Amino acid sequence: MTPAQRRWVFGVAVAGLAAFYLWGLSGLPGFGNYPGPYGFVILHLAVKQTFATGIVSAVNFEYRGFDTVGEEFILFTAAAGTAVVLRVLRGERERSAVDEAADRDVPPTSGAVRMVALLFTGPVVVVGWWLTSHAQTNPSGGFQGGVVLATALILVYLAGEFLVFNRFSPVALTDAVEALGAGGFAAIGVAAVPLGLAYLSNYLPLGQFAGAVSSSGTIALISFFVGLEVGAAFILITGELLEQTLLIRQGDG
């Protein structure tokens, strides 16, 4: 199809689809009238059952923890897939790993940027760690924390060079950390099986009172592993793309 034809066909089709979709949406109870029961039952049970006050984390890591296993492995698989697709191929040479390479089209980082980035790295790490460790209490969790921790390494890149970034996160090590994160989550789940409990059951003591950082058993532990996996996955993906941009020179056409 030519672009014009496509536009016409799509215009007609999307009008139909939109009408159809709106017809379905009009059957919903109005906005603000969530009918339950799923969410309300969880709100009722969660604090009592898990000692977590962050109910979303309780759902993510406990009631629907199995979804999160799948989700972590989606990210894990995507990182592996990115590594496969962007691997250094025959005929491609790695350019000498100096950032100031001749055809580098990014201007060298200014001193001010380096300074700011360095200043920010510490606080960012702290925030990432805090987010990862407070899943059970506050609006936070391993996922957000992991991304923030990965951002800290990107700041290291801004402050220094790719070489430093690479030294901080050698691929094999990051791979291993990522696998530890994803595998650790699945393994915590499996550990329930010899105890005669269902997969992913919360078998750790729940702690003294709801809302404490040390409360709610496996939720905190799972959040930690999710943080590892997510952080490592983002570092891997960013690293692969950085390597493509800065180091790889194309040999074949």
Partner 1 sequence: MDQLLALALAVPLLAAAAITAIGPLLGDRRRLLDGVAIAVAAATTVMLVVIMVRTAGGDQVYWFAGFRPARGVAIGIDFEAGSLSAGLAVLAALLVTAAMTFSWRYFERVATHYHTLMLTFLAGMTGFCLTGDIFDLFVWFELMGVSAYALTAYRPEERGPIQGALNFAITNSVGAYLSLSGIGLIYGRTGALNMAQIGVYIDRHPPDGLVAVAFLLIVSGLLIKSAIVPFHFWLADAHAVAPTPVCVLFSGVMVELGLYGIARVYWSMFGQALGHRAAISHIFVTLGVLTAVVGALFCFRERHIKRLLAFSTISHAGIFLTGIGLLTPLGLAGTAVYVIGHGLVKAALFLCTGVVLHRLGSVNETWLHGRGRHLRVTGVVFTLAGLGLADLPPFVTFVGKGYVDDSAWAHGLPWVMGLFLVCAVLTGGAVLRVAGGVFYGLGDAPSEDAEMAKMASEETSETESGKERTPLTMIVPSAVLVACAIALGFITRLGPLVQAAAIRFQDQAGYNATVLAGAHIAHPVAPAAAESTGITLSDVLAGAGSAAGALVLAFLALYWRRLPLLRRGYEPGAGLTAPIQRFQSGVVNDYVTWIVLGLACVGGVLALVVR
Partner 2 sequence: MAYFPFVVVAWILCVGLYGIVTSRHLVHQIICLIVVQSSTYVLLLGVGYVTGAVAPYYFDVPVHTPAVDPVVQALALTDVVVEAAVTALLLSFAVQAHKRFGTVDPQELASLKG
Partner 3 sequence: MTVAVHTPYTVPIGFMDALQITVLILVAAGATAVVLIRRPVHQVLALSVYGVLLAVLFLVFQAPDVTLSEITVGAVALPVILLLTLAKIRKREE
Which residues contribute to the site for partner 3 (CB under 8 A)? 30-33, 54, 56-57, 103, 105-106, 131, 139-141, 143-144, 147-148, 150-151, 154, 234, 237-238, 241-242, 244-245, 250
How far apart are alpha carbons 220 and 223 in whole angstroms?
5
Comparison of 18 and 115: residue with beta carbon closer to partner 2: 18
Cα–chain center distance at 88: 25
As measured in angstroms, the least distance from the Cβ of 228 to partner 1 is 11
Nearest to 61 by CA among 136, 130, 133: 136
Cα–chain center distance at 103: 33
Q: Which does residue 87 touch among partner 3, partner 2, partner 1, none (CB within 5 to 8 A, set by kind)? A: partner 1
Nearest to 69 by CA among 189, 197, 233: 189
Q: Which does residue 131 touch among partner 2, partner 1, partner 3, none (CB within 5 to 8 A, set by kind)? A: partner 3
Inter-CA distances, 201 with 182, 188, 194, Å: 17, 9, 11
| Member of 8, 77, 104, 170 binding partner 2 (CB under 8 A) | 77
What DSSP state is assigned to residue 62?
Answer: I
As measured in angstroms, the least distance from the Cβ of 172 to partner 1 is 4
Comparison of 108 and 245: residue with beta carbon closer to partner 2: 245
Fill in the per-residue mask, 175 to 194: x = in contact with partner 2 (CB under 8 A), - = not in contact: --------------------
Comparison of 186 and 242: residue with beta carbon closer to partner 3: 242
In residues, how long is the chain?
A: 253
Residues 39-58, interacting with partner 2 (CB under 8 A): 39-40, 42-44, 46-47, 53-56, 58
Nearest to 202 by CA among 182, 222, 183: 222
Stretch that binds partner 2, among 23-31, 108-116, 158-166, 167-175 (CB under 8 A): 23-31
How far apart are alpha carbons 226 and 211 in whole angstroms?
20
How far apart are alpha carbons 124 and 197 in whole angstroms?
38
Nearest to 186 by CA among 130, 246, 216, 229: 229
Half-sphere exposure of 91 (CA within 13 A, CB side): 4
Binding site for partner 2 (CB under 8 A): 3, 6-7, 10, 14, 17-18, 21-22, 25-26, 28, 30-34, 36, 38-40, 42-44, 46-47, 53-56, 58-60, 64, 67-68, 71-72, 74-75, 77-79, 81-82, 85-86, 137-139, 141, 143, 210-211, 230, 233-234, 237, 240-241, 244, 250
